[in-house]
Structure 1
């Protein structure tokens, strides 16, 4: 009898909670949004998306989420019109039932993330979990249905828009031809992989006017015949730094390595290990920073969206320069002209050296995050703990970008000028995004 009474009391309590609408505590939690982005990040990692494609996955998903927020909060402005080619987004219809715009953002991110990644349905189990949790937390059924309908309309509109960015066309573009000439990029050990995404500069930018906006100076003339040439000194700096790394420098190189697919070779055994790519790492930083800044749900979504745009456009500009310069990697030159046995501390990725993509992307992201959270926010970056790499303290976003750039010299995969010019270009890209995209209404 007591058990029956207890069961009845619990049932009444749950019904009361549902009627009181406790669902808001669940749907408005900014940490839930960061968790949802991390779910997408994990799908990207597990399925070996190259970093520039990962950036594309992230940007459309986060923009879809942001547009849900902007539709329900007058303090935020739609990106339609601010991004020149972005069409107007569907308007919410609250005549039938209210809409929970936070939950709509979560649904939209998950639906778009599911559509732009593989395997098919990779995000739908989580989508159903969100829906179940909102229902269990007390969201009225008519509100849940209308929230789903609105989020679906935004997701569909963003996906239609995404199809015009030339991604499909670049899938069928002609293969990159390796030029066996001194000073030109060739595949590097141990994978000797073909060049990754040589036509990425053809992707439609979000904010940049073109893939060549902002002039990047020519790299030093390749000259190994003269030990006093500018190039030779930079090449030897890479070797000398790599030969005398401190433990701190090794940690910096490992922490910012962000190689999504490292091939390990031990004798005749080869196996791959995975980590977050640069955009995945920086999106983790967004979540950590938002928590440190005690940002609310809508502000957190805005931070992710703006930083995703920074990465998307920075990859386009960086890749235009990479395949224009087609510059040799330090490892190739050192092996040919100095020491056949020399290897960089981290693995050289399969694309040309100039400019550093990580430097360009990190600097662009740092500018957008500084504009959002200020330049005084410091925090501990715990992103790499799950890969067994110790935390690093971040004094500012710009300091983190500078350290990420320097990590490529410590790692032995970039010359100093790759990093320096990448930082300059990325900073300009970030500043342009901040200038043109005004998310906050005031």
Structure 2
């Protein structure tokens, strides 16, 4: 009887010892998506969105890294990032601090960051409901606020503030060069983005794409054939191709016109779509909170560097969009399925950033990682299944031909550019000790 009693007491203590605090991993995707929703509200352009995601996650990544040796600190591979100090002698929960740091950094750097104050309060209310102590929560918030300030100070030196001081971009009216397109005829987006400090790559021009096919009005030329392919594909789209184009549209601000009335529709950015895919993948892989934070952070960095590289090429070649060419030389009434984005054509941004991120996710989570993407459900499109990250990236790339907004060489050379960036990023992370999380 005494033995049974001792066994019961031992089991009871074992159970108590294994009582784990509620899983904070369930809060990660909603926290990152809260920042996404603010960016949608603000109509943040694609390159800028990648920058905001990176800094929102950078502090959280560092907080986790300073508590878990299995997570490599970003100071080991991010250029010019010095040590982030976690200065507090009071006990705190580093995972709470990491979550709050995402929201607090977003609050400080996003144009409408104040909107995240409600998300911060909601998170704290949920943590209180989950029985976290008031003192632990308070100290975790204090730590997060301090780290967020350090991240914002680091971000302030990346040349973002200098963009507005640059000479205003004036599109050339010469043949072959980009010019604003209907219906909004919006000015060029981020023509000087190449000056932004990269996170992992050496420079904006480290991964120059192959030169684009030279512009020509000659109907027998290679360029004319590229333009005519866009025209033909646009005129013979299957239902599946139409759906693929719409699924990967990711236009932060599309304008629909009816007579004299124009209506703007806000959508998720290309980077936002891939950040949500990353959330879906880390959840399916059942990664720990710590590993999931790291993967989200690394994907954001890859996105940021990919946009820097791509935008460097866009404004170097400043190539004319298919819509302009087709209207001038083939069919004045032709319209692409998707609204043409307000920046030069070459290379395809979707092709570059999707391919780069797919290479990184394939390294971290494995090839043939099947997942169901529900990102576009918010925009009344159904879920879509993919067998791998590379398959999703390939579809995102070709969607731009179906949408009528890119020539084939911009897509294929963009994929090559993105693959080179992705492979470089993976190599750099390997050297720093970042391993596959599967």
- Which residue of structure 2 lines up, in the alignment, with residue 250 of structure 1? 242
TM-score, scaled relative to structure 2:
0.92
Q: Is the 8 A contact 2:189 2:343 kept in 1?
A: yes
CA apart distance, 1:91: 3.3
1:274 aligns with 2:266: yes
Q: 1:313 aligns with which of 305, 326, 338?
A: 305
How far apart in 1 are the matches of 2:221 and 2:244? 29
1:81–1:88 CA contact under 8 A, matched in 2: no
Q: Which moved more, 1:207-216 or 1:336-345?
A: 207-216
Shift of residue 441, structure 1, vs aligned partner: 7.2
1:166 aligns with 2:166: no
Q: 1:304 aligns with which of 296, 320, 339?
A: 296
2:118 corresponds to which of 104, 121, 125: 125
Cα distance in 2, alignment partners of residues 143 and 167 from structure 1: 35
Cα distance in 1 between the residues matched to 2:258 and 2:20: 52
**Are 2:188 and 2:343, in contact at CA under 8 Å, matched by a contact in 1?**
yes
* Match among 205, 209, 229 for residue 221 of structure 2: 229
**Match of residue 394, structure 1, among 369, 386, 407:** 386
Q: 2: distance between equivalents of 1:433 and 1:139? A: 38
Contact (CA 8 Å) 2:71, 2:291: kept in 1 or not?
A: no
Q: CA deviation at 1:29?
A: 3.0
- 1:329 matches 2:324: no
Where do 1:1-400 residues align within 5 Å? 24-25=21-22, 28-91=23-86, 93=88, 95-97=89-91, 99-225=92-218, 227-400=219-392
Report Cα offsets for 1:149-188 as digits up to 9, x if no partner.
Answer: 2222221111111000000001221110111011000000
Give the equivalent residue in structure 2 for 1:414.
406
Deviation at 1:340, TM superposition (A): 0.4
CA deviation map 1:335-373 (0-9, x unaligned): 000100000000000000000011101111111111111
Q: Give the root-mean-square deviation of aligned CA atoms.
A: 1.7
For residue 375 of structure 1, report the CA deviation from its aligned partner.
0.7
Alpha-carbon distance in 2 for matches of 1:296, 1:207: 24
Hey, what's the Cα distance between the residues in 2 that align with 1:155 and 1:441? 27
Structure 1 distance, partners of 2:114, 2:374, is 29
Query: 4+ residue stretches of structure 1 with deviation over 3 A?
Result: 19-23, 438-442
Task: Please report the TM-score for the alignment, with normalisation by the length of structure 1.
Answer: 0.92
Aligned counterparts of 2:238 and 2:433: Cα–Cα separation in 1: 43
CA contact (8 A) 2:198 2:304 kept: yes
Q: Aligned partners of 2:255, 2:435: CA distance in 1, in Å?
A: 47
Indicate if the aligned counterparts of 1:104 and 1:150 stay in contact, CA closer than 8 A.
yes
SS in 2 for 1:146: helix
Inter-partner Cα distance in structure 2 for 1:135 and 1:23 = 16
Listed one character per residue, the Cα deviations across residues 209-239 of structure 1 (whole Å, up to 9, x for unaligned) are: 11100231111111112x2211011110000
2-structure distance, mates of 1:305, 1:20: 32
User: Any conservation in 1 of the 2:75–2:82 contact (CA below 8 Å)?
Assistant: yes
| Corresponding pairs, count | 419
Distance 1:275 1:232 in 2: 32
Distance, in Å, in 2 between the alignment partners of 1:234 and 1:134 is: 56
C-alpha displacement of 1:120? 4.6
Following superposition, the deviation at residue 413 of structure 1 comes to: 0.1
Name the CA distance, whole Å, in 2 between partners of 1:31 and 1:238: 43
Distance 2:383 2:227 in 1: 30
